[in-house]
Amino acid sequence: MARQRDEALLGGPESAARDVLRLTQIMGQLIKGFREFRGIGPCITFFGSARFDQDHHYYRLARAAAREAGRRGFSVMTGGGPGIMEAANRGARDVSAMSIGCNIQLPSEQRPNPYLDTSITFKHFFVRKVMLVRYSQAFIILPGGFGTMDEIFETATLVQTGKVGRFPIVLLGSDYWGDLIDFVRDKMVSCGTISAIDAENLVVVDDPAEALDRIMALLPANS
């Protein structure tokens, strides 16, 4: 169902009546998100692969980082599914921090993980992305696939173009992210496709406490 809906939306022009109906549905999703998440307080969003189980090093790393975020007064938001998302929500639950999920309808259903205090399942990725940025003060990003890469570079683009203020983007796990950061800092900067200051918006660390230290240092004093 979700695949058919997105294919129709992105598949070309439709009738005026269908456009109005679709806009009304999209507005309804936005309103629901705005209402549900209005009071969640300072929040950090975690991204990463849905494919890691609880015995994986990256799952344990995400859980530890979320615990650290919760101890420092942040709510934890994720995409609401399994893997890294579950680990982060579980870490928030470990320290009684608010645990939030922005789930997405997929052709193979992504079920909400069991560690959520509040959750909404959205029909469109772009609506979900609005929520994940609007209600977050920072991103902590663990190893992941195409969706995770999309979130890294979309957020970096928002910062680069001034669409959002200074927004900490912390990549956790240098063993996974090292080659990507080398490409950004060496290839992209040397070729002039981005500036050196753009590359500095991506921070790579290995320790959860250091990740939170970096975020706290970059956030405005009144955040």
Tell me: the pLDDT tens digits for 34-67?
Answer: 999 988 889 999 999 999 999 999 999 999 999 9
With a cut of 70, say whether residue 4 has pLDDT above it: no
pLDDT at residue 165, rounded to an integer: 81
214-222 average pLDDT score: 81
Confidence (pTM): 0.89
pLDDT at site 19: 86
C-alpha 41/C-alpha 192 separation (Å) is: 38
Q: Is the confidence at residue 202, as pLDDT, over 60?
A: yes
89-107 mean pLDDT: 92
Q: Work out the pLDDT band at 197, boundaries 50, 70, 90.
A: very high
The mean-pLDDT minimum among 10-14, 59-63, 195-199 falls in 10-14
Q: How confident is the model at residue 10 (pLDDT cuts 50, 70, 90)?
A: confident
Asked whether residue 107 carries a pLDDT value surpassing 70, the answer given is no
HSE (side-chain half, CA atoms, 13 Å) at 130? 14
pLDDT(111) > 90: no
pLDDT in tens, 129-160: 999 889 999 999 999 999 999 999 999 999 99
* pLDDT at residue 33 greater than cutoff 60: yes
Percent of the chain's residues with pLDDT above 70? 93
The yes-or-no verdict on residue 109 having pLDDT over 60 is no
What is the pLDDT, as a whole number, of residue 78? 96
Q: Span 186-205, mean pLDDT?
A: 95
Average pLDDT of the residues in 110-123: 89
Residue 2, pLDDT score:
47
Q: Any idea which fold 2-218 has?
A: Rossmann fold (3.40.50)
Each residue of 106-134: b (16+ CB within 10 Å) or e? eeeebebbebbbebbbbbbeebbbbbbbe
pLDDT value for 7: 67
